[in-house]
Amino acid sequence: MESVGILGVAIGIAGRLWPVWLALALVVLMVFKFKRRLGLFGRLFDDRAGIAGVLICGFWLFTAIFADVVAPLDPRVQVAVMKNAVPGATEPESGMLFLLGGDLLARDVFSRVVYGARIVLTIAPAATLIAFLVGISLGLPAGYFGQRTDQVLSFLANLVLAFPVILLFYLLVTPGIMDTPIPYAMAGVMLLVPIIFFLVLFYTGYEARPERLYLYLGLTLVIGGWIYAGLVFDSDPLGIIAIEPNELNIFIAVVFASSPGVFRIVRGLCLEIKTRDYIAAAQTRGESPWYIMLWEMLPNARGPLIVDACLRIGYTTILLGTLGFFGLGMGPESPDWGTAIKDGSNVAQLRLYFWQGLAPAIALMSLVLGLNLLADSLREQSLRD
């Protein structure tokens, strides 16, 4: 089979990514035009680390969004003649170009890397967000009330943190566990926390303004119930919100393992913030404890939490890759990066067809690098504030 060479591969990849370049260019133009109005996000472009972090993360975000346009093939489609094809190989009959070659099962490596970004950037940020809401919901009362509340919640968090992480995930994502009600029960409890969180948030913040209160509570119940029904019971009437059982398993495992770490960060921040004068002023005004926690303490803890969120998404990305590499992640045909690295990492494939495992490994590494740069820049901005 003919090959277009390294230059042809680079040009071909750049051409396939045209919607990504266009979206990044629009973001950069909008940022520099409205920089002063964008607050923290606009200030990220004041240093090189922030610019690099935003561009790298934006690149993979838009790649995931436009995966259907960028990828030339479905990641599971097999083209027999392209088994172990080199990067830039051309299919003789149709002339289709395999930009990153074919893998052991004659699937397009480039398409699998692109669709792998969609899987990672769907699970990692969403699981991190739920973990943060769970950790915040438990860390705020532990830090504010202290005493027995703090002791009980801290003991539960330490109990989870005492388990080795790999062993904990092995127990939570082992294939046989999906035949038990354990993951669905855990999902039912953990995914209920965000709904309760926003109900309490809106009730305490808009109790004196019933016209807005009822609107926000209604939207929370409708949207939250819709997402809850789709994820936990797979019964979304519109068929939009759905998740595969093995994906739900990994999702809940990440939330369960990450929540105690968030809890300890929030608890520590609250122990320091509750000694400040504006908290005493809110208590003097007769504000309720949950109002003080959600509307006085939480906004003043946002800086460290935003930085930790970026780092935790990176950790979750590595974790998803690790689980896929050990065969504990998605199904064997999934294009997630961990599974792709595993498929291309056996001795024969690594020695003769190294690009099959190298391409998803570079993709994973670059995304984590972008998140770390973004976190570093956010940390610098938070220190300036």
pLDDT tens by residue, 2-53: 777 788 888 989 999 999 999 999 999 988 888 878 777 788 888 888 899 9
User: Is there a single domain that holds both residue 156 and residue 18?
Assistant: no
Tokens, residue 132: 């943060």
Rg value, the chain, Cα: 23
Mean pLDDT, rounded, of the chain: 85
User: Is there a single domain that holds both residue 275 and residue 195?
Assistant: yes
What does pTM read for this prediction? 0.87
Q: Is residue 94 part of a domain?
A: yes
Residue 292 or 351, more confident: 292
Q: pLDDT for 235-273, tens place per residue? A: 777 777 777 767 778 888 888 888 999 999 999 999 999
**Cα angle: 108, vertex 110, 112; to 5 degrees:** 70
User: Is there a single domain that holds both residue 138 and residue 266?
Assistant: yes
Average pLDDT over residues 161-173: 76
User: Is there a single domain that holds both residue 109 and residue 141?
Assistant: no
CB atoms within 10 A of CB 104: 14
User: Is there a single domain that holds both residue 278 and residue 299?
Assistant: yes
Q: What is the DSSP letter of 295?
A: I
User: Is there a single domain that holds both residue 163 and residue 41?
Assistant: no
Identify the pLDDT of residue 90. 83
Average pLDDT over residues 162-189: 74
User: Is there a single domain that holds both residue 180 and residue 79?
Assistant: no
Total of domains in the chain: 2
Amino acid sitting at position 299 = P
* Exposed / middle / buried, residue 366 (Cβ in 10 Å: 0-12, 13-18, 19+): middle
For the cut 80, the answer to whether the pLDDT of residue 165 exceeds it is: no
Distance CA 349, CA 100 (A): 14
Residue at a domain's end among 293, 314, 335 = 314
Q: Is residue 275 part of a domain?
A: yes
Q: Is residue 49 part of a domain?
A: yes
Identify the pLDDT of residue 99. 85
For the cut 60, the answer to whether the pLDDT of residue 384 exceeds it is: yes
Q: Is residue 327 part of a domain?
A: no
Q: pLDDT for 97-129, tens place per residue? A: 888 888 888 888 889 999 999 988 988 898 899
Question: Are 84 and 353 contacting, i.e. CB atoms less than 8 angstroms apart?
Answer: yes
Q: Is residue 325 part of a domain?
A: no
Residue at a domain's end among 295, 314, 333 = 314
Question: Are 330 and 339 contacting, i.e. CB atoms less than 8 angstroms apart?
Answer: yes
Identify the pLDDT of residue 62. 95
Q: pLDDT for 126-148, tens place per residue? A: 889 999 999 999 999 999 998 89
Q: What percent of the chain has pLDDT over 90?
A: 34
Residue 336 pLDDT level (bands cut at 50, 70, 90): confident
Task: For residue 41, give the nearest of 378, 346, 369 by alpha carbon.
Answer: 378
User: Is there a single domain that holds both residue 163 and residue 286?
Assistant: yes
User: Which of 85-89, 320-324, 366-370 holds the top average pLDDT?
Assistant: 366-370
Q: Is residue 245 part of a domain?
A: yes
User: Is there a single domain that holds both residue 275 and residue 145?
Assistant: yes
Identify the pLDDT of residue 385. 58
Average pLDDT over residues 212-229: 92
Q: Which helix (H) or strand (E) holds 325?
A: helix 302-325
User: Is there a single domain that holds both residue 187 and residue 309?
Assistant: yes
Domain extent at residue 57: 5-116+344-384
User: Is there a single domain that holds both residue 151 and residue 246?
Assistant: yes
For the cut 80, the answer to whether the pLDDT of residue 371 exceeds it is: yes
Identify the pLDDT of residue 177. 65
Q: What percent of the chain has pLDDT over 70?
A: 95
Strand positions, DSSP E, the chain: 89-90, 97-98
Residue 94 or 98, more confident: 98
Q: Is residue 332 part of a domain?
A: no
CA distances from 145 to 131, 192, 293, 294 (A): 21, 23, 10, 14
Residue at a domain's end among 269, 295, 314 = 314
Q: Is residue 65 part of a domain?
A: yes
Q: Could you give the count of Cα atoms lying within 13 Å of 93 in the half-sphere of its Cβ?
A: 4
3 state DSSP class of 321 = helix
User: Is there a single domain that holds both residue 152 and residue 46?
Assistant: no
